[in-house]
Structure 1
Amino acid sequence: MPKATWNGVVVAESDKFETVENNVYFPKSSIKSEYFKKTDTTSVCPWKGTASYYTLSVDGKENKDAVWTYENPKAAAANIKDHVAFWKGVDVSK
């Protein structure tokens, strides 16, 4: 079962997920929301749309913009709506 771990804490875990461009996208329902803080950061992908970001906050440490999501993805990426993915040192294992 895929899980995302940062700073020694599992921040997401689910047996249902999507894989896009070698990134595991976890359903938002599988995240431990107490560790996530929405930021104002956005980026644009030509085929997925506009991504929004979250900072992980675990045990007093922060990993800025380590999580992204496509809240309103383009049709080609509809399968990752309501999912999040990780980077910046977050360990994602399958």
Structure 2
Amino acid sequence: MMTASFHGTVIARSENTVYLEGNHYFPPESVTPGALEKSWLRTLCYWKGIARYYHVSAAGRRAANAAWAYPYPSPLARKIKAHVAFDPGSGIHIDNKPA
């Protein structure tokens, strides 16, 4: 069971993450409602496609552009379609914890 937490608050939990390039991508339904706020930031990965970013909020704190997803990935990255990854450098802790 992979868990993403921000300042002690669980923001995502799933047994079905996709591990790609050092990141666990969480299924969208595993993300805590209200934890993500849309950002205007987009980046382009030459093989995955365009990433859409989100601000993460929990425990009264906010981390700007600390999560991202590929809503329409390239065929090579179809396994991560709409899945959410989190930036550990933003204070988000990813861990393998029992349910």
TM-score, length basis structure 2 = 0.91
Aligned to 2:39: 39
Deviates more, 1:26-35 or 1:52-61: 52-61
Map 1:1-94 to 2 at 5 A. 1-87=1-87, 88-94=90-96
Please give the alpha-carbon distance, in whole angstroms, between the structure 2 residues aligned to 1:38 and 1:52.
Answer: 8
Please give the alpha-carbon distance, in whole angstroms, between the structure 2 residues aligned to 1:89 and 1:44.
Answer: 24
Using the aligned pairs only, state the percent identity: 36
Matched AA of 1:93: D
> How many equivalent pairs are there?
94
Please give the alpha-carbon distance, in whole angstroms, between the structure 2 residues aligned to 1:28 and 1:37.
Answer: 13
Q: CA deviation at 1:59?
A: 2.8
Q: Deviations over 1:56-83 (max 9, x none)?
A: 1113211001000000000110000020
TM-score, length basis structure 1 = 0.96
Deviates more, 1:56-65 or 1:14-23: 56-65
Deviates more, 1:53-62 or 1:9-18: 53-62
Please give the alpha-carbon distance, in whole angstroms, between the structure 1 residues aligned to 2:60 and 2:92.
Answer: 16
Q: Which runs of 5+ in 1 are unaligned?
A: none
